[in-house]
């Protein structure tokens, strides 16, 4: 035969108050501080476990935007400036540039540059190719 689940309120069988003191004490919503989310501010442990966004930003804590990790980003005008000032290595007719971040298409490229990066925008690829350069994916180590 299948074993039935044991009732959880077995402790209070035969008792009138169920641990609430006087018989009349446990009536209504006043004993639990209201119905629904009423008075949740006073039930702070319940908020902490179930509804962390109830009190707004303060319940999630403060995150310092200065210390927040950000993606490394470089713009095309910066790469072009480095090539023109001679800070980039030149192989053949192209300048070589490696970057472990994202290359954005702000600015112009006037010299052919071979860029190796993790990611780049669509316009970056168009601008680099039109200047006679090439762009390729940097492999993870």
pLDDT on residue 57: 61
Res 21: pLDDT? 87
Determine the pLDDT at residue 129: 95
**pLDDT per position as a tens digit, 116-132:** 999 999 999 999 999 99
- What's the confidence (pLDDT) of residue 60? 59
Q: What pTM value is reported for the model?
A: 0.52
Domain residue ranges in the chain: 34-67, 73-137
Residue with structure tokens 């209201």? Answer: 34
Instruction: Provide block-wise average pLDDT over 10 residues at a time, the chain (141 residues).
Output: 73 83 87 82 81 66 72 94 94 93 94 94 94 90 58
Q: What confidence score (pLDDT) does residue 141 get?
A: 58
Q: What is the CATH number assigned to the segment(s) 73-137?
A: 3.100.10.10
Distance from C-alpha of 79 to C-alpha of 119, rounded to nearest angstrom: 15
Neighbouring CB atoms inside 10 A of 96's CB total 14
């Amino acid at each position: 035969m299948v074993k039935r689940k044991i009732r959880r309120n077995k402790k209070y069988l035969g008792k009138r108050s169920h641990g609430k003191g006087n018989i009349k004490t446990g009536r209504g919503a006043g004993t639990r501080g209201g119905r629904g989310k009423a008075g949740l501010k006073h039930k702070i442990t319940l908020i902490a476990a179930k509804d962390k966004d109830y009190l707004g930003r303060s319940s999630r804590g403060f995150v310092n935007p200065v210390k927040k990790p950000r993606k490394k980003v470089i713009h095309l005008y910066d790469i072009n400036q480095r090539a023109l000032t001679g800070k980039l290595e030149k192989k053949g007719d192209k300048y070589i540039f490696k970057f472990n971040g994202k290359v954005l298409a702000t600015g112009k490229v006037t010299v052919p540059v071979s860029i190796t990066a993790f990611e780049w925008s669509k316009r970056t690829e168009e601008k680099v190719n039109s200047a006679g350069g090439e762009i390729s994916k940097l492999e993870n180590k």
